Amino acid sequence: MTAAGAFKFRIDRRSGVATYWQIVQQTKQALRLGLLEPGDKLPTAREVVEATAVNPNTVLKAYRELEREGLVEGRRGLGTFVRASLGTASSLDSPRRAELEEWMDRAHEDGLAREDMTALFDSVLNERFPQENS
Amino acid sequence: MSNTTAALEAAGLAKSYSRRKPAVLDECSFRLPRGRVCALVGPNGAGKSTLLRLAAGLLRPARGTLHVLGLTPARARERVAYVAQSKPLHPQLTVAETLRYGAVLNRSTGRWDRRAAERIAYGREDGEGLAPDARIRTLSGGQRTRVALALAFGKRAELMLLDEPMADLDPLARQQLTGALMSAAEEGTTIVMSSHVIAELEGSCDFLLLVTGGRLRLGGEIEEVTAAHTLLTGTADLDASRQTVIEERPSGRGRTALVRSTEVPDGDWLAERPNVEEVLLAHLRNTHVPPFLTGDASPVSVQRAERARAQENAA
């Protein structure tokens, strides 16, 4: 346990999202929100399984994925540590955000409803960056 | 003993309780590698409890063999913990006396872990566990489960056989005790949990054995079992000779089918990966389909025969 309080995962079994993927996404979210910063220790597989009752292999799989993406590193006998922080593309003054806002205004003028925009966005996103796992 | 021996390995295993009645288990062959958390799933009366009791060395098979940690069930007993559905405990003893009794019974092995047993029985925080001086007869079903699991943890078994362990636990105890089981799994303990509630096992189990009518229907790593099946939705006709169709149901003008194949047939099909519950339910509704074991779940004798056949074909 770190002094700041250990980071905790919230597993939703009914979401239909693979458990290991929830762990990956929540870690990234924590990096974006600044809950985790480089040098911080992730909870051990043991701590995660005791708290969430998920299978230990699932936690290890998630940590391997985060490691593959270069976000964390496992240090033998010490645990898994955050290596990199994640960009803040979602922050208010980012140019990408401004472009997306423009795009949405135009889509709205064309008569697209909220759901149409989400569907369109997801469709292009999945086409360009297919998810390796469901 | 090498670690390559399986936690459980059954070949042609059969058991019947009476000559006149059909066999409770018949022709069961499978392999459970070590270090897995295995869900033993099937409807009531499918033979799950019989299989666990055979593995615990409490019953003898009528035919076939069953190896536990590479040994006969009787010889493996010291290294195996079995929690029966009925949780047989002495009603007059207190919780603390029961744990001391467990220590005495396991003295010969020198493996008894008092702290592990107490952590499960009394909990780590106030209000989580039981009072040491509570008598067994005053405990609820769920509280007795906690005592039985405490004995299993104290034994520091390499293999835990748990018959419906979660059935009468409240949500808090279920979460805490499943967490404790997962933490034992993290240390390498193999766990087999039976249940007929599928949702209960999702997330914590990584291996699956489905038994219906005394026969093994599905076996293997859960991801591998689901990945071997595809859920097809479309209006085209499905050619059953091209793939094993587990289940086909009308849907609007077309159909939804669960097939045992990863190839998408000709025609305009939406192909999705089914979840474990969809695969299990389809197999529970359609027990006539051929059984499916992944490589990991096949007994070594079967693996050997497959290899020989492959070599023959190659030659």
pLDDT in tens, B257-273: 999 988 888 778 888 88
Residue B70, token pair as written in the block: 């590479």
Alpha-carbon radius of gyration of chain B: 22
Does residue A67 lie in a domain region?
A: yes
Query: Which residues sit opposite B218 in a β-bridge?
Result: B210, B292
Residue A61 C-beta-side C-alpha neighbours within 13 Å: 13
Name the residue among A19, A51, A134 with its Cβ closest to that of B179: A51
- Tens digits of per-residue pLDDT, B137-165? 999 999 999 999 999 999 999 999 999 99
- Residue to test with chain B: of A19, A49, A54, most B Cβ within 10 A: A49
For chain B, the straight-line distance linking the first and the last C-alpha, in angstroms and rounded, comes to: 36
% of chain B beyond a pLDDT of 70:
97
In angstroms, the separation between the Cα of residue B176 and the nearest Cα of chain A is 7
Strands across the sheet containing B8-15? B25-32, B8-15, B63-68
Does residue A133 lie in a domain region?
A: no
Enumerate residues 6+ apart whose C-beta is below 8 A from A122: none
Name the residue among B186, B202, B273 with its Cβ closest to that of A56: B186
Does residue A115 lie in a domain region?
A: yes
Query: Do residues A63 and A99 share a domain?
Result: no
Query: Do residues A76 and A101 share a domain?
Result: no
- Tens digits of per-residue pLDDT, B42-101? 988 889 999 999 999 999 999 999 999 999 999 999 999 999 988 889 999 999 999 999
> What is the spatial distance between Cα A57 and Cα B212, in angstroms, rounded to a whole number?
28
- Tens digits of per-residue pLDDT, A88-129? 655 566 788 889 899 999 999 999 999 999 988 888 888 888
> What is the spatial distance between Cα B53 and Cα B102, in angstroms, rounded to a whole number?
20
Q: Is B250 left (phi over 0), alpha (psi -120 to 50) or beta?
A: beta
Give the per-residue pLDDT at A115.
Answer: 92
Q: What ipTM goes with this model? A: 0.77
DSSP, collapsed to helix, strand or coil, labels residue B14 as strand
Does residue A117 lie in a domain region?
A: yes
Query: Do residues A41 and A102 share a domain?
Result: no
Residue B205, token pair as written in the block: 């189990």
Instruction: Flag whether residue A126 sits within 8 Å of chain B, measured between CB atoms.
Output: no
Give the per-residue pLDDT at B216.
Answer: 93
Question: Which residue's entry shows tokens 């219906």?
Answer: B212
Query: Do residues A73 and A18 share a domain?
Result: yes
> What is the spatial distance between Cα B271 and Cα B258, in angstroms, rounded to a whole number?
10
Does residue A88 lie in a domain region?
A: no
Name the residue among B175, B185, B273 with its Cβ closest to that of A56: B185
Residue in A with minimal Cα distance to B273: A134
pLDDT > 70? residue B3: no
User: Residue B254's pLDDT band (boundaries 50, 70, 90)?
Assistant: confident
> What is the spatial distance between Cα B164 and Cα B145, in angstroms, rounded to a whole number?
10
Residue in A with minimal Cα distance to B191: A55
- Residue to test with chain B: of A57, A61, A126, most B Cβ within 10 A: A57
Does residue A87 lie in a domain region?
A: no
> What is the spatial distance between Cα B48 and Cα B162, in angstroms, rounded to a whole number?
10
In angstroms, the separation between the Cα of residue A107 and the nearest Cα of chain B is 28
CATH number at residue A38: 1.10.10.10
Chain B residues whose CB is inside 8 A of the A57 CB are: 206
Does residue A59 lie in a domain region?
A: yes
- The identity of residue B301, as a single letter, is S
Alpha-carbon radius of gyration of chain A: 18
Query: Do residues A123 and A69 share a domain?
Result: no
Domains in chain B, ordered, with CATH?
Answer: 6-222 (3.40.50.300), 223-290 (no CATH)
Query: Do residues A48 and A106 share a domain?
Result: no
> What is the spatial distance between Cα A44 and Cα B250, in angstroms, rounded to a whole number?
47
**Maximum average pLDDT range among A40-49, A80-89, A94-103:** A40-49
Contact B59, B77 (CB under 8 A): no
- Tens digits of per-residue pLDDT, B11-52? 999 998 888 888 889 999 999 999 999 999 998 888 999 999
pLDDT > 80? residue B306: no
Does residue A19 lie in a domain region?
A: yes
Query: Which residues sit opposite B177 in a β-bridge?
Result: none
Query: Do residues A13 and A63 share a domain?
Result: yes
Give the per-residue pLDDT at A77.
Answer: 84
Query: Do residues A33 and A73 share a domain?
Result: yes
From residue B18, how far is each of A4, B15, B22, B23, B212 by CA, in Å? 63, 9, 8, 8, 19
For A124, the domain range is: 94-128
Query: Do residues A10 and A57 share a domain?
Result: yes
Residue in B with minimal Cα distance to A133: B273
Give the per-residue pLDDT at A87.
Answer: 67
- The identity of residue A64, as a single letter, is R
Query: Do residues A76 and A99 share a domain?
Result: no
User: How many domains in chain A?
Assistant: 2
Instruction: Flag whether residue A55 sits within 8 Å of chain B, measured between CB atoms.
Output: yes
Query: Do residues A13 and A75 share a domain?
Result: yes
pLDDT > 70? residue A50: yes
Query: Do residues A75 and A121 share a domain?
Result: no
Contact A49 B185 (CB under 8 A): yes
